[in-house]
């Protein structure tokens, strides 16, 4: 970091101007919205704040959100570890293509993710008859679209690459020599993973899990397409939407009160991120 | 097997088949098969039907709005993103680390929360919208509002694309330019900027892809008026889904998928070229 030291001395006039522009931009564009949520949420006082957090709808939405988040995080962490191992410990044809496919959820509209499940499991979807016949044969009542499984799937879709994306770069820089040595000495796959690979990616995995959790808690577009019943399949962001669109001054303040929960989680994630980055250095 | 022999000889680390199987299965079930269902359904439509849906003036305007607003926001983000990345890498000032962390706010703040907050802040009674409306500038429920929301969500993509390139940038080039008598301005535009261009294009592309498909953060601030042409494509898809117009929703989604696929491809090509260039130097 010698270059950093060299530059510290000469910030100069242009430097000061650029720093001022940057600080103002960050404060205005990024920090002010967070402050605004908190200010708006407390407009009617603490009593109103806690009351609006403990309504039947909000508590139900909290439960659905937590369930969907836990499922999505478990699935995507498992996937991230497996895909990370595959994409960094082996060379094979089509590897780059596979890596690109995993990143699809980053670049498509979440609304399309919701639509995709409707077109698969919904009334017109090709999988609907299969689920119907399962329900008929076993007397079950499995529903995917407009029910909890759909919410879980949509949440998993949008957060799919979050853990693998954190793990893969770390494993790439670590290389595969240690694993190869261990394998030549006769260690089994799971043992190699547990003793050699995982210690390297412990922090990256935890950080990926945190990011995945934050994103899963806040997913809106994909879930909005697949969830229609307030108090049953609504998640917190959908509840915020319903409260905000109800339009009365009280319900808007309640929307901000629920939002403030998610803002606090967002801030906690930022703090943890900083903590884990220092850990790695 | 063939590519394996060519590159690395025999695979030493165990678990190739297992991890490949799990990765491809999970990827298929959660991402690929649902998206293929959208494609499958849209291919069943008659060309005339597809043409009618796509040439509907509301749909055309929504595409125009989404693409143009995302383009404008991405340009703004490249300008401020480059300044922010530059300031974060080149200067040391109190609060630099905190500012670096704050860049991620749009990644961790749920889009619906960002949406309602920005909408409130920039409304004529809001913290920023109030003073602006006194000057005769309306932000919420106009195109300007859309741009503000898209700048908010796209910013970290640009900063995080440019930052690592700037960190690795070799100071020798700059010193050579100074020694040869170039002033700081010439050095920046002739020496540094060309090196940053691939990263700027990548950031631009990612912000653009995200912006075109964005839903949660824009639907509140945009006002969604057909007359004012402030409806975005994701909003139209959601509206068609609510009216059970699946043919309409999938046709539009198909075009959106094509757009994000092309963008993803361009970004990948730029990134591959960039890594070739830096590795050869």
Cα distance from A52 to chain B (closest Cα, Å)?
A: 16
Task: Give yes or no for residue A238 having a pLDDT over 90.
Answer: yes
Task: Give yes or no for residue B2 having a pLDDT over 60.
Answer: no
Cα distance from B18 to chain A (closest Cα, Å)?
A: 9
Mean pLDDT of B1-30: 77
CB atoms within 10 A of CB A208: 27
Query: Cβ of A174 under 8 Å from any chain B Cβ?
Result: no
List the domain boundaries for chain A.
Answer: 1-41, 46-280
Cβ proximity of B70 and B153 under 8 Å: no
pLDDT in tens, A63-105: 999 999 999 999 999 999 999 999 999 989 988 889 888 988 9
| Amino acid A10: pLDDT | 66
pLDDT in tens, A167-219: 998 898 888 888 999 999 988 888 999 998 999 899 889 989 998 999 999 99
| Amino acid B267: pLDDT | 84
Mean pLDDT of A245-255: 94
Task: Give yes or no for residue B183 having a pLDDT over 70.
Answer: yes
Task: Give yes or no for residue A245 having a pLDDT over 60.
Answer: yes
Query: Cβ of A24 under 8 Å from any chain B Cβ?
Result: no
Identify the residue whose tokens are 């429920």: B141
| Amino acid A81: pLDDT | 96
CB atoms within 10 A of CB A67: 15
User: Hey, which of A9-13, B16-20, B42-46 has the most confident mean pLDDT?
Assistant: B16-20
Banded pLDDT at A220 (limits 50, 70, 90) = very high
Q: Is A151 exposed, middle or buried (0-12, 13-18, 19+ CB in 10 A)?
A: buried
Task: Give yes or no for residue A115 having a pLDDT over 50.
Answer: yes
Q: Which residues of A touch B14 (CB under 8 A)?
A: 183, 188-189, 192
* Cβ <8 Å between B103 and A26: yes
Banded pLDDT at B279 (limits 50, 70, 90) = low
* Cβ <8 Å between A270 and B91: no
Cβ proximity of A106 and B24 under 8 Å: no
Query: Mutating which of A38, A115, A125, A259 best tests the B interface, going by the most B Cβ atoms within 10 A?
Result: A115
Task: Give yes or no for residue A7 having a pLDDT over 60.
Answer: no
Separation CA B170–CA A149 (nearest Å): 51
Classify each residue of B196-234 as buried b or exposed e, where b means 16 or more C-beta atoms within 10 Å of its C-beta: bebbbbbbbbbbbbbbbbbbbbbbbbbbbeeeebbbbbb
Q: Is A161 exposed, middle or buried (0-12, 13-18, 19+ CB in 10 A)?
A: buried
Query: Cβ of A33 under 8 Å from any chain B Cβ?
Result: yes
- Nearest by CB to residue A109, choosing from B37, B40, B256, is B256
Token digits of residue A233: 């399949």
Separation CA A67–CA A72 (nearest Å): 9
| Amino acid A47: pLDDT | 94
| Amino acid A27: pLDDT | 95
Residues ≥6 apart with Cβ < 8 Å to A236: A58, A61, A62, A65, A217, A218, A258, A261, A262, B110
Q: Which residues of A touch B31 (CB under 8 A)?
A: 101-102, 104-105, 157, 160
pLDDT in tens, B159-177: 999 998 898 887 788 888 8
Chain B window 42-61: which residues touch A at a Cβ cutoff of 8 Å? Answer: none
| Amino acid A279: pLDDT | 67
Q: Which residues of A touch B84 (CB under 8 A)?
A: 22, 25-26
Task: Give yes or no for residue A276 having a pLDDT over 90.
Answer: no
Q: Which residues of B touch A128 (CB under 8 A)?
A: none
SS3 B137: coil
| Amino acid B278: pLDDT | 63
List the domain boundaries for chain B.
Answer: 14-44, 46-280
Query: Cβ of A224 under 8 Å from any chain B Cβ?
Result: yes
Query: Cβ of B67 under 8 Å from any chain A Cβ?
Result: no
Q: Which residues of A touch B106 (CB under 8 A)?
A: 30
Query: Cβ of B151 under 8 Å from any chain A Cβ?
Result: yes
Task: Give yes or no for residue B197 having a pLDDT over 50.
Answer: yes
Mean pLDDT of B143-155: 96
* Cβ <8 Å between B14 and A189: yes
Token digits of residue A49: 């704040």
Task: Return mean pLDDT, chain A.
Answer: 90
Choices 3.40.50.300, 1.10.3720.10, 3.40.50.12280, 1.20.1070.10: CATH for A46-280: 1.10.3720.10
* Whole-angstrom Cα Rg for chain A: 23
Query: Cβ of A163 under 8 Å from any chain B Cβ?
Result: no
Banded pLDDT at A3 (limits 50, 70, 90) = very low
- Nearest by CB to residue B84, choosing from A22, A110, A114, is A22
pLDDT in tens, B221-266: 999 998 999 999 999 999 999 999 999 999 999 999 999 888 888 8
Task: Return mean pLDDT, chain B.
Answer: 89
Query: Cβ of A97 under 8 Å from any chain B Cβ?
Result: no
Task: Give yes or no for residue B281 having a pLDDT over 50.
Answer: no
Check if CATH label 3.50.50.60 holds for domain B46-280. Answer: no
| Amino acid A11: pLDDT | 76
Banded pLDDT at A1 (limits 50, 70, 90) = very low
Cα distance from B210 to chain A (closest Cα, Å)?
A: 6
Separation CA B140–CA B224 (nearest Å): 11
In percent, how much of chain A has pLDDT > 70?
95
Torsion of CA A170, A174, A180, A186, to 10 degrees: -70
Q: Which residues of B touch A10 (CB under 8 A)?
A: none
Task: Give yes or no for residue A5 having a pLDDT over 80.
Answer: no
Residues ≥6 apart with Cβ < 8 Å to B240: B246, B248, B249, B252
Nearest CA in chain B to A127: B37
ipTM for this model? 0.88
* Cβ <8 Å between B257 and A112: yes
* Cβ <8 Å between B13 and A19: no
Q: Which residues of B touch A273 (CB under 8 A)?
A: 101, 104
Q: Which residues of A touch B252 (CB under 8 A)?
A: none
Task: Give yes or no for residue B274 having a pLDDT over 80.
Answer: no
Task: Give yes or no for residue A54 having a pLDDT over 50.
Answer: yes
Banded pLDDT at A140 (limits 50, 70, 90) = confident
């Amino acid at each position: 970091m010698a270059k950093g030291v060299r530059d510290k001395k000469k910030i100069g006039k242009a430097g000061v101007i650029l720093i001022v522009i940057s600080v103002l931009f960050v404060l205005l564009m990024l920090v002010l919205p967070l402050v605004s949520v908190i200010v708006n949420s407390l407009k009617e006082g603490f009593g109103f704040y806690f009351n609006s957090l403990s309504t039947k709808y909000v508590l139900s939405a909290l439960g659905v959100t937590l369930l969907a988040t836990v499922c999505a995080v478990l699935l995507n962490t498992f996937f991230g570890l497996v895909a990370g191992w595959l994409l960094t410990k082996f060379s094979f044809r089509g590897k780059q293509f596979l890596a690109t496919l995993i990143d699809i959820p980053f670049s498509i509209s979440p609304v399309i993710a919701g639509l995709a499940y409707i077109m698969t499991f919904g009334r017109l979807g090709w999988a609907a008859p299969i689920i119907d016949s399962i329900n008929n044969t076993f007397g079950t009542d499995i529903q995917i679209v407009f029910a909890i499984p759909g919410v879980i799937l949509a949440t998993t879709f949008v957060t799919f690459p979050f853990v693998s994306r954190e793990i893969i770069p770390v494993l790439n820089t670590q290389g595969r020599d240690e694993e190869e040595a261990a394998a030549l000495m006769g260690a089994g796959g799971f043992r190699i993973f547990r003793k050699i690979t995982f210690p390297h990616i412990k922090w990256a995995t935890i950080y990926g899990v945190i990011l995945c959790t934050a994103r899963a808690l806040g997913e809106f577009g994909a879930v909005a397409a697949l969830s229609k019943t307030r108090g049953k399949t609504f998640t917190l962001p959908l509840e915020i939407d319903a409260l905000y669109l109800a339009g009365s001054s009280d319900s808007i303040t309640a929307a901000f009160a629920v939002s403030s929960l998610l803002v606090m989680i967002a801030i906690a994630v930022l703090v943890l991120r900083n903590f884990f980055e220092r850990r790695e250095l | 097997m063939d590519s394996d022999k060519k590159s690395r000889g025999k695979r030493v680390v165990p678990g190739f088949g297992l991890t490949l199987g799990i990765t491809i299965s999970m990827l298929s079930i959660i991402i690929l098969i649902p998206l293929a269902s959208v494609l499958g359904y849209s291919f069943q439509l008659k060309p005339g039907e597809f043409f009618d849906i796509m040439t509907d003036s509301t749909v055309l305007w929504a595409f125009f709005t989404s693409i143009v607003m995302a383009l404008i926001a991405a340009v703004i983000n490249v300008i401020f993103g480059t300044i922010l990345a530059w300031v974060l890498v080149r200067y040391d000032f109190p609060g630099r680390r905190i500012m670096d962390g704050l860049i991620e706010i749009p990644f961790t703040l749920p889009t619906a929360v960002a949406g309602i907050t920005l909408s409130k802040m920039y409304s004529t009674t809001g913290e920023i919208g109030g003073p602006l409306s006194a000057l005769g500038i309306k932000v919420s429920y106009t195109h300007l509002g859309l741009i503000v929301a898209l700048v908010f969500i796209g910013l970290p993509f640009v900063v995080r694309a440019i930052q690592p390139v700037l960190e690795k940038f070799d100071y020798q080039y700059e010193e050579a330019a100074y020694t040869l008598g170039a002033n700081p301005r010439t050095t920046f535009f002739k020496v540094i900027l060309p090196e940053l261009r691939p990263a700027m294009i990548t950031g631009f592309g990612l912000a653009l892809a995200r912006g075109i498909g964005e839903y949660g953060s824009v639907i509140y601030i945009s006002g969604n008026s057909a007359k004012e042409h402030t409806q975005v494509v994701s909003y139209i898809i959601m509206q068609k889904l609510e009216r059970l117009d699946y043919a309409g929703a999938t046709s539009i989604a198909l075009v959106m998928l094509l757009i994000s696929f092309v963008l993803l491809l361009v970004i990948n090509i730029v990134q591959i070229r960039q890594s070739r260039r830096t590795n050869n130097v």
